[in-house]
Structure 1
Amino acid sequence: MGRITGTTRLLAVLGDPIEQVRAPELVNPLLDRLGRDAVLVPVHVRPDDLAEVVGGLRRIGNLDGLLITVPHKFEICRHADELAPAAAFTGSANAVRREPDGRWRADNFDGVGFVRGLRAAGHEPRGRRFALVGAGGAGIALAAAVLEAGAARLAVCDTDGERVKALLARLGERWPGRVSGSTEPRLEDADVAVNATPLGLRPGDPLPFDPGALPAGALVADIVMKSRQTPLLRAAAARGLAVHHGLAMLDHQLDCYRDFFRL
């Protein structure tokens, strides 16, 4: 990271917890390579404090934008003046920027980053059957993105039945007949199984699903980035299944961030 001076512009990544975020490790070297006098810093914000913190951050004159992680991706949309199409459709955002007129615009790049990461690793989503566990802010973005990329079918699971129902209504209107939902994972015929929950961030977390329930040849993907080899991915690899690491989703969002924040 370059020298911080009185002219340095600020970006912040907001989350709870915050220790697991990897964005500063990737975005700050990008800022250095681009010769930008800017820095991305992590900010720990508990859900009850989000409105107050965001209100204060908006008043910081040299703050150009925010990255958003768990659990704030839905709620942050309430604090934006404008939602880009991906954020408007999913109701979830992972990036917010200050416009020249002072308005705040939110967008979501989780889905495009995930799909680009899959393709870069040789895993084409088109025609494949996906099982997605987790219908939160990242999950809904990934769901829309894999369907847009041509997934043959998507089975969404979340312990919150109302959240599943709302997601099915949103996705089913655009992609009728290709989406189903449940409160228990349906893995028996999935080609790709994705963990879009925070399970794996904390020691002792249970696995989000049992890789042993997947057919041979399935791919297991995890969006948790705290460590490259999450407990889920270790369990999947031990069963001979192919795995896809969470950091790929962030790696393939960097170009999106560069364009979005006009770096």
Structure 2
Amino acid sequence: MTGDAPWSISGTTRLLAVIGDPVRQVQAPALLNPLLNRPGTDAVLVPVHARPDDLPDVVRGLQRAGNVDGLLITVPHKAAARAFADGLSPAVRLSGSTNALRREPDGRWYAENFDGAGFVAGLRAAGHAPEGRRVMLVGGGGAGSAIAAALLGAGAARLTVCEPDRQRREALLARLSRVWPGRLAGRGVPDPEGADLAVNATPLGLGPGDPLPFAPKTLEPGAVVADIIMKPRDTALLKSAAALGHPVHHGVHMLTRQLDLYREFFRLAPDR
């Protein structure tokens, strides 16, 4: 395939898949495929809808296909997908979740997580550097756990993880506290008081009837409100926060800042 010629898929094309439930909201194919349609790269990324009960069959089936080189993982499979990797990166071990698996030359599969790095890079590019901030993070699942680790690693002064699943919350806090003691708190329900950066890392907002993950009206003036949901771009949370005068940060930034990381991870041709 080339950037100037029509898109062409042949018997030599290598496959990447993004796996989720649902997948109608995924933006990775639209953003990553233009990078694959360039000289020296013969690959395509396609969405694959896998319900939780079907995940093992879907992933193992794709891994057995000889021309599938990598998998991107999205909601709600990021924690469960660790089980399909032979090797885990430090980021995966710390967060407990993965959003990218790569076939190695020897056929083994290696798991990485770029959500945290992408989210922090997006914040910095938008002028919302996390250093010294008091952060409320709602959601301790696959993406939330990776974002939590990245925010602490980037210098957040205090991080409160709001996650209703007590076992999940306490396991995440235990892992993070071993690296960043004294900078963490956990709650079962959101409490934005005192936060100057509030992050939604839950799926709430994907559906038009979803409740807000937290009430932005309780935030201090000037607090930044970030959402990791990419479609719709302006979630109900971000609309509500903007109406109150809060700076908002859209979910797509987390993905766009991961594109170069994906290209390197999957050993794709460099930008030309």
Which TM-score applies when normalising by structure 2? 0.95
**Correspondence for 1:155 among 137, 160, 170:** 160
Shift in Å at residue 47 of structure 1?
Answer: 0.5
Partner of 1:19: 24
Runs of 4+ in 1 over 4 A off after TM superposition: none
Which of 201, 219, 222 aligns to 2:224? It is: 219
- Secondary structure of 1:58's counterpart equals helix
Q: Which residue number in structure 2 is paired with residue 138 of structure 1?
A: 143
Residues 38-82 of structure 1, C-alpha deviation per residue, up to 9 Å, x if partnerless?
A: 100000000001111111111111100000001110111011000
Identity %: 67
Question: Number of paired residues?
Answer: 263
1:236 corresponds to which of 234, 237, 241: 241
**Residue identity opposite 1:168 in structure 2:** L
Q: Over aligned residues, Cα RMSD in angstroms?
A: 0.9
1:113 corresponds, among 92, 111, 118, to 118
CA deviations on 1:171-228 (whole Å, 9 max, x unpaired) are 1111111000001112111010000000011120000000001000100000001121
Segments of structure 1 that go 5 or more residues without pairing to the other structure are: none
Out of 54, 74, 81, the position equivalent to 2:79 is 74
Task: State the one-letter code of the partner of 1:16.
Answer: D
Q: Please give the secondary structure, in 2, of the residue aligned with 1:145.
A: helix
Residue 195 in 1 paired to residue 190 in 2?
no
Tell me what 1:57 maps to: 62
Aligned to 1:126: 131
Distance, in Å, in 1 between the alignment partners of 2:194 and 2:244 is 16
In 1, Cα distance between the equivalents of 2:215 and 2:94?
Answer: 31
TM normalised by structure 1 equals 0.98
Could you list the per-position Cα deviations for residues 79-132 of structure 1 after superposition, in whole angstroms to 9, with x for gaps in the alignment? Answer: 100001111221100000100000000000000000000000011111011000
Q: In the alignment, is the contact (CA less than 8 A) between 2:94 and 2:176 conserved in 1? A: no
List per-residue Cα deviations over 1:10-30 (Å, max 9, x = no partner): 000000011000000101011
Flag structure 2 segments of 5+ consecutive residues without an equivalent.
Answer: 1-5
Distance in 1 (alpha carbons) for counterparts of 2:41 and 2:83: 30
| 8 A Cα contact 1:2 1:37, kept in partner | no
